[in-house]
Structure 1
Amino acid sequence: MKAEPAALSAGVAEVDDARVAARADTHLMRSLLIGIFLFMAIYALYFARAFFMPVILAFLLALTLTPIVRLLRKHGIPEVISASLLVLLSICIFASAGYLLSSPIIDLINNTSSIGQQLTERLAQLRQPFEKIMQISHQVEQLTETSQEPGIQKVAVAQSGIMSAAASNILSAGTSLTIIFVLSLFLLASGTMFYEKIIQSFARLSEKKRALRVVYDVEREISHYLLTVTIINAGLGAVIGLGLWALGMPNPLVWGVAAALLNFLPYVGALITIVLVTIMALISFDTIAYALLAPAFVLLCDIVEGQFVTPMVVGRRLEINAVAIFIAIAFWSWLWGFVGALMAVPLLVVIKVFCDHFDGLSHVGNFLAAQQTTVVEEDDNADTEPAKG
C-alpha cells in the first residue's frame, strides 16, 4: 500500500519533467524560428532596398501628415483633397529645396580640394604631427599620376562610366521619389479603409475593439511624434540658417537645411553639423576667434533644442536610450546608407510604441526606453503612503 503512493508520485514527477522538457524544446524552437526570420528579414531589406526604402519612407511621410489630414477632415475637407494638397505641397518644397541647394552644393563639391588646402593653411600650426603622413600621401599621388599614361580613349571611357553612373543614380532617385509620393498619397487618401480591414480580420467584438484601440493609439502617437519632430527640426534649421547668415557665413541656406536633416540623428547629427560649420567658418573668416562664433552658435541651438524644446514638446515618454540609438544608426546606415541613418530613430520610435502596446513585447519597449522615473515615483509613493495613514 505504501509503494503505490510512491510509484504514483514518481510517475507524476516524470510527467512534470516531460512537460518541462517539452516546454524547453518549444521555447528553443521558437527562438530558432525567430532568429531565422530576423536573419531572412535583414537579408531581404539589404538586397531589396530599392523596393523597401521608398515604401517605408512613404509610410513615414504618410504618418507625419496624418494629423493634418485628420484636422482638415474635422473642418469638412475630404481626405482625398487634403492628401492631394499636402503631397503636392511636399513635392513643391522638395523640388524648391533641391533647386536652391543644387548650385551651392555643386560649388562645394567642386571646391573640395581648395577648401582642404585653405583649411590646411589656416591650421598650419597643427600640421607638424601630420607632416610625414601628408608627404607620403603626396608621393603616392605622384607615383599614381606618373604610372598612368595619358590617352584620349582612356579619358573618354572614364567619363562615360561616370556619366552612365550619374544617369543611373538620377533615374533610381526619380523612381524612388515617385513611389514615395504616390504611395503616401494613396495611404493618406484611403481614410479608414485599413482600420476596417483590421476589424474584419477578428471574429469577436472584444477583439475588434482591442485591435482598433491599439492601432489608433499606435498611429496617433507615432504620427504626433513624427510631425512634432519634423516641425522642431525645421525650426532649428531656420534658426541656424538665419544666425549663420547674420554672422556672414557663406551658403547659410545649405547649413540650415543640413542642420534640419542631420538633427534626425541624435548626438551624431549635431556633431557632424558643428564639424562642417567649423571647417567652413575657418576658411571663410579672417580671424579664428570670429570663425569659432559660428560653431558656438550651432552648439547653443542644439543644446537648447535637445535639452529644452524637444523634451518639453514631445515629452519624456518616447525618449530612446543612447545605446539603442547608436546601434540603430549604425545598423541602418550599414543597411541603407545615409537615408537609412536618417530613418533609424523614427523607425526605432515606431518599434517602441508598437511594443509598448503588447504585453509579450513590453520587455523590448522597456529596453529601448530611456531611463524613466518610475522607480523614484514608486519610492515617493511608498514614502507618502505612511504619511497619509
Structure 2
Amino acid sequence: MAPRPTRIPAAGTPTKTVTSPLIVAALIVTGLYLGRDVLIPIAIAILLSFVLGPLVNFLRRLHFGRFLSVAVSVLMTLSVVGALGALIGVQLADIAHDVPRYRTTIEHKLEGLQDSPAGRMADYVASIGRTMHRDDSKPKPETEAKPDAPPPDRAILVEVKDRAPDALTLAGTLLSPILHPLATIGIVFVVLLFLLMQREDLRDRMIRLAGSSDLHRTTVAMDDAAKRLSRYFLVQLALNASFGLVVGIGLYLIGVPSPVLWGIFSALMRFVPYIGAFVSALFPLALAAAVDPGWSMVVETLILFVILEPLVGHFIEPMLYGHSTGMSPFAVLVSALFWTWLWGPVGLLLSTPLTVCLVVLGRHVDKLEFLDVLFGDRPALTPVENFYQRILAGDPDEVQEHAELFLKTAPLVTYYDEVVIKGLELAARDAARGVLTPEQKTDIRQSLSGLVEDLADHEDAAGDGEDSSSAAPTASRDGLVLCVAGRSFVDGAACAILAQLLGNRGIGARLVPFSDVARARIDGFDPGAARIVCIVSTAISGEPTHLRRLAERMKRKLPQAHMVVGLWQADENGLDEAAQRRAIPADMHVTSLRGAVEAIVVAADPNAPAPRDVDRPAPHPVGTAIPA
C-alpha cells in the first residue's frame, strides 16, 4: 500500500500547535521575572487603588474635586506607611539593644535543659558518638634537627590598615540598605497617583481590550469586578489590621517586648495563605522564650495565637466576606509558590490578592474565562456536564454519589428534570453527530438502568406548592399508562424514569420500546387495558415528523386513549414549542417530567389538581386536561 501523502498547509494558513501557548506563557513569566523591579511597585499600586477607590469616591461626593480627593487619599496612605515604618524601626532598635540580655536568658535555659533527663540523655548519646569516632593513634614525635640544617624561616607579621572612608562613601554605605525600599515606595505612590487620576480612562481601555461589541454588558461586568475587588480588599485589610491590633494588645498584656512590631508583622503575614499564621506566631514565641526565665510567657503567647487565629479564620472571615476568596485551595497553594519563586517575599504577600484579581476578571470577561476555570473554586463542569461525563466514562458510583448529594436539597423529579434529562439530551446530540460508538451507547444505557434502580427506593418529596398527601400512592393501577419510547437510544431510559415517578404516585406504567410499535409490528401489538399513552423522546433534527407518525399509529391503535407527548429539544435548530404542538397530534404536550407526571395524574383522576408545565393544542385552553 502506498504511503498516505503528507498535507502541507497553504501559505498564510495559521497552524495551531501546543507549543504556541507554552511559548507565550514562557515569555510572560520571563518578562515578569526580569521586570520585577518595575512590576512589583505597579502591582502594589494597583492593589492600593482598589483599596483607596471608595475613599476617593467618598471625598468626591463631598465636592473635594478629583485632584484634591486623590491627593488627600494618597497623602493619608503615605502618612500611615511612614508612621508604620518609623514604629518598626524603633521596635527593631529596641530588640537589637536588648539582645545581650536575651542571650543570657537563653544560656540559662539551655543549662537547665542540660540538667534535665532529656539533656543528660542527649549528652550520653553525644559521648557515645565521640567515642566511636575517636582516633586512638598517637602523634609521632618530631625528628630532631640535624646540626648542619639551615635555621627555619620566621614569619613576619604584617598589618594592613584600610584608609578611612570619606564622608560621601560613608553616606553611601549607610543609605544603600534603605535606598531601594525608598525607591520602590516612591514608584508605588507615583503610579498610584496616576491610577486614581486616570481611573475612568484606564477602565475604558480595559473595556476596549475585553470586548467593545457589547458595551453595556462589558461595562457592567468591569464595574462589578472593581466593586467586588474593592470590597474584598477593604474587608481583608480591616480584618487583618484588627487581628494585628488584638495581637499587639495581647502581647503587651503578656509582657512580650516590642508588641507593636509583632502586631504589624502578624497583620502583614495574614495576607500569606496557610503558613502566614504560623510564621506570625513563631517570632513572638521565640522572643518570649528568650525574655522569660520560665515558660509561662511562651505558653500564654501560644494560647493567644491558638485561640485568635481559628476564631478569625473560621468564624469572623466567613461572616464578613464568605467562606473563601473564590479560589480553589490548590490554586492558593500554587499561586503562593509561583509568586514567591518569581518575586520573593513580596510575591508571597501579593500572591493571594493578585490571584483574586485574575479570578474576578475571569468571571466577568469572556476572553479571560480560562482564569476562572484554572484558579476559581467553582466546579469546572455543571451538574449536567458532570453527569454525562461520568456515565460516558462508565463510572456509575460517582453518578450515584452526585445524585445523593443533589437529592438532599431537592425532590427526585427535580433531579431527573434538571440533571438526568438534560444529560440525556447531550447524549442524544452526540449520537446524532455520530461520535458515540455502539459500545459507549451500551455503557450509557447500562449506567442509566443502574441509576434508576438505585433510586427506586428513594422517597420522592412533593414539589414546590404541591400537597404531599396527594403525592402519596393510594391504589396501584397497573398497566394504566403506556410509556412509549422514541427511536433515540436514550428514550428507553427516559421512559423508565417516567414509569418510576408514576409508580411513586400509585400509577402503574408499562414500558414499550420503539421496536414494538414500529410500522411493521404495530398490528400485533397488544396494548392491554391502557387508557393513557405517553410518548417520550429527546428530539433531534427531523424527529417531529417521526413522532407525528408514531403518535398517529398509537392513536389508530388506541382511539379512546388519552395521548401525552413529552418532547425534549436536544437540537438548537429544531422546531419551537408551538411548531411541535402543531406538528404532533396529541391531547397534551409536556416539556418536563414533572409536567408529564401531573398531566397523567389528571388524565387518570379528573379530581386531581390542574397540571403545570403542560401545553394543549388549540382550541382548548393551555394547561387544561381532557379526561380519558
Q: Is the 8 A contact 1:79 1:190 kept in 2?
A: no
Q: Does 1:224 find its partner at 2:231? A: yes
2:69 alignment partner in structure 1? 82
Asked which structure has the greater CA Rg, the reply is 2
Q: Is the 8 A contact 1:278 1:294 kept in 2?
A: yes
Cα distance, 1:269 vs structure 2: 1.1
Q: Does 1:387 find its partner at 2:394? A: no
Specify whether residues 65 and 351 from structure 1 end up closer, same or farther in structure 2 by C-alpha distance, changes over 3 A only: same
Cα distance, 1:358 vs structure 2: 4.1
Q: Which amino acid aligns with 2:196?
A: L
Q: Is the 8 A contact 1:63 1:222 kept in 2?
A: yes
Q: Which amino acid aligns with 1:88?
A: L
Residues paired across the two proteins, number: 350
1:22 alignment partner in structure 2? none
SS at match of 2:293: coil
2:30 alignment partner in structure 1? 43
SS at match of 1:353: helix
Higher normalized helix content (fraction of residues): 1
1:108 alignment partner in structure 2? 95
Q: Which amino acid aligns with 1:213?
A: V
For residues 51-80 of structure 1, the C-alpha deviation after alignment (integer angstroms, 9 at most, x for no partner) is 111111111111111122233334444332
For residues 293-336 of structure 1, the C-alpha deviation after alignment (integer angstroms, 9 at most, x for no partner) is 01220222111111111121111353433332222222222222
Q: Is the 8 A contact 1:282 1:292 kept in 2?
A: no
Deviates more, 1:192-201 or 1:250-259: 192-201
Q: Which amino acid aligns with 2:192?
A: S
2:556 alignment partner in structure 1? none
In 1, the alpha carbon distance for the partners of 2:252 and 2:293 equals 16
**Pairs within 5 Å for 1:210-289:** 210-289=217-296
SS at match of 1:104: helix
Q: Which amino acid aligns with 1:195?
A: R
Cα distance, 1:215 vs structure 2: 1.5
Specify whether residues 262 and 383 from structure 1 end up closer, same or farther in structure 2 by C-alpha distance, changes over 3 A only: same
Tell me: higher relative CO, structure 1 or 2? Use CA pairs within 8 A at least 6 residues apart: 1
For residues 56-113 of structure 1, the C-alpha deviation after alignment (integer angstroms, 9 at most, x for no partner) is 1111111111122233334444332222111101111111111122022134356667
For residues 204-241 of structure 1, the C-alpha deviation after alignment (integer angstroms, 9 at most, x for no partner) is 6x522222122112211112111110111001001110
2:48 alignment partner in structure 1? 61
Aligned counterpart in structure 2 of residue 170 of structure 1, from 162, 168, 178 = 178
In 1, the alpha carbon distance for the partners of 2:281 and 2:293 equals 19
Q: Is the 8 A contact 1:274 1:299 kept in 2?
A: no
In 1, the alpha carbon distance for the partners of 2:340 and 2:315 equals 28
1:192 alignment partner in structure 2? 200
In 2, the alpha carbon distance for the partners of 1:92 and 1:215 equals 31
For residues 166-201 of structure 1, the C-alpha deviation after alignment (integer angstroms, 9 at most, x for no partner) is 633422222211111111112112242223344567
Which structure 2 segments of 5+ residues have no match? 8-13, 131-156, 384-401, 415-460, 467-628
Higher normalized strand content (fraction of residues): 2
Q: Which amino acid aligns with 1:253?
A: V
For residues 273-299 of structure 1, the C-alpha deviation after alignment (integer angstroms, 9 at most, x for no partner) is 111111111122232134210122022
Cα distance, 1:368 vs structure 2: 2.5
Deviates more, 1:259-268 or 1:291-300: 291-300
Specify whether residues 42 and 198 from structure 1 end up closer, same or farther in structure 2 by C-alpha distance, changes over 3 A only: closer
Which structure 1 segments of 5+ residues have no match? 1-13, 19-24, 137-148
Q: Does 1:33 find its partner at 2:33? A: no
SS at match of 2:253: helix
For residues 19-67 of structure 1, the C-alpha deviation after alignment (integer angstroms, 9 at most, x for no partner) is xxxxxx955x2x3222112211211221221111111111111111112
Q: Which amino acid aligns with 1:383?
A: P
Specify whether residues 33 and 176 from structure 1 end up closer, same or farther in structure 2 by C-alpha distance, changes over 3 A only: same
Q: Does 1:338 find its partner at 2:345? A: yes
In 2, the alpha carbon distance for the partners of 1:262 and 1:61 equals 17
Q: Cα RMSD between the aligned structures?
A: 3.7
In 1, the alpha carbon distance for the partners of 2:211 and 2:334 equals 40
Cα distance, 1:115 vs structure 2: 4.4
